[in-house]
Structure 1
Amino acid sequence: MKYARLTKEQFDELHPEFVNFLATQTIDKAEWDKIKVEKPEVAEQELDIFSDLIWEGVLSRAEYLENFSKNHIFLFQCFEKHIESIVLKSMVADTNFLTKEGLQWLSDNMFTENIEMKIGKKEYVEERNISIFGLIQQGSFLSDGQLFKQINSIVNS
């Protein structure tokens, strides 16, 4: 398995796609039910293959990621060969970017000595999608990139 198996909730959400996936292998509901009982290892393989296909599609389209913690915000823009990052760090210990108040504080203090900003660019060490998946496993999530674009446009103007 290249990525990770989807959760039960994700499989439930993607049920129609999974049915189509099985249909491409000429497996109908009766056949699938039989496989689950008689050959659970084959059923497990099918779940893993489908999970990898879904992840591959999602990761191939991924352009922006965000990761928030109490005192840091990591923003990423994913390109074909490299990734660019903006890292914001609060220099005030009791700031909490995980709250609405913390984000308001960030807005009020963005370009002051209270916020340390680092901008970076890095070539992928591994395959692009594997690298992006690693960031997701560390807590990043896909985003529309609005915050990255806003900060990037101010910094580059």
Structure 2
Amino acid sequence: MKYRQLTKEQLEELHEEFARFLASQKIDVTEWERIKKEKTEVAEEELNIFSDLVWDDVLTKSEFIEHYSKSSINLFKCQETLIVRIMVKTSNPLIDFLKKEGLAWLSKNIGDNSLDFFYAHKNYSKGRNEELFELIEKGGILTKGHLYTSIFEIIKK
């Protein structure tokens, strides 16, 4: 397995896609129920294959990931061969970026002396999707990149 199996909740959300996946392998509902009961290892393998397909599709389409901690925000722009990282770090112990108030403070105090901005980029050391998956597994969130774009506009000046 390339990634990890989708959670029960994720599979429930994708039940129609999973049904089409099974149908593409000529497995109908009755057959699937039989496989789950009598051939659990085959059922697990089907779930693993489907999960990898879903993760590959999601990761391939993903362009931005954000990761938050109390004192820093890591913003990633995931290009084809390069990942760009912007880190916003505060030395102010009263600011907590894990809370809505911390982000509100950031938007109003972007020039505050307690803020440091770091910009870096690197080529992927593994496959692109594998590295994005690792970021997600460590708490990264897929986003549309609004915060990345806003911060990038500020620091490029």
The one-letter amino acid paired with 1:130 is E
1:41 is aligned to: 41
- Cα offset, 1:99, TM superposition: 1.5
2:144 is aligned to: 144
Q: Structure 2: how far apart are the matches of 1:73 and 1:127? A: 24
1:94 is aligned to: 94
2:122 is aligned to: 122
Cα deviation, 1:68-95, whole Å, max 9, x if unaligned, reads 1111101000011110010011111121
- Cα offset, 1:30, TM superposition: 0.5
- SS for the counterpart of 1:131 is helix
2:154 is aligned to: 154
2:9 is aligned to: 9
- SS for the counterpart of 1:96 is coil
The one-letter amino acid paired with 1:48 is N
Query: TM-score with structure 2 length normalisation?
Result: 0.97
2:69 is aligned to: 69
- SS for the counterpart of 1:153 is helix
- CA contact under 8 A between 2:117 and 2:155: conserved in structure 1? no
Q: Structure 2: how far apart are the matches of 1:100 and 1:43? A: 42
Kindly report the root-mean-square deviation, in angstroms, between the aligned alpha carbons of the 2 structures: 0.9
Unaligned runs of 5+ in 2: none
Unaligned runs of 5+ in 1: none
1:53 is aligned to: 53
1:105 is aligned to: 105
* More moved, 12-21 vs 62-71: 62-71
Query: TM-score with structure 1 length normalisation?
Result: 0.97
- Cα offset, 1:130, TM superposition: 0.2
The one-letter amino acid paired with 2:27 is I
Cα deviation, 1:38-83, whole Å, max 9, x if unaligned, reads 1100000000000000000000000001111111101000011110
Indicate the percent of aligned positions where both proteins have the same amino acid: 47
| Count of residues paired in the alignment | 157
- Cα offset, 1:109, TM superposition: 2.4
The one-letter amino acid paired with 2:117 is M
Off by >2 Å, runs of 4+ in structure 1: none
- Cα offset, 1:108, TM superposition: 2.5
Q: Structure 2: how far apart are the matches of 1:113 and 1:149? A: 21
Q: Structure 2: how far apart are the matches of 1:143 and 1:63? A: 8
- CA contact under 8 A between 2:71 and 2:89: conserved in structure 1? yes
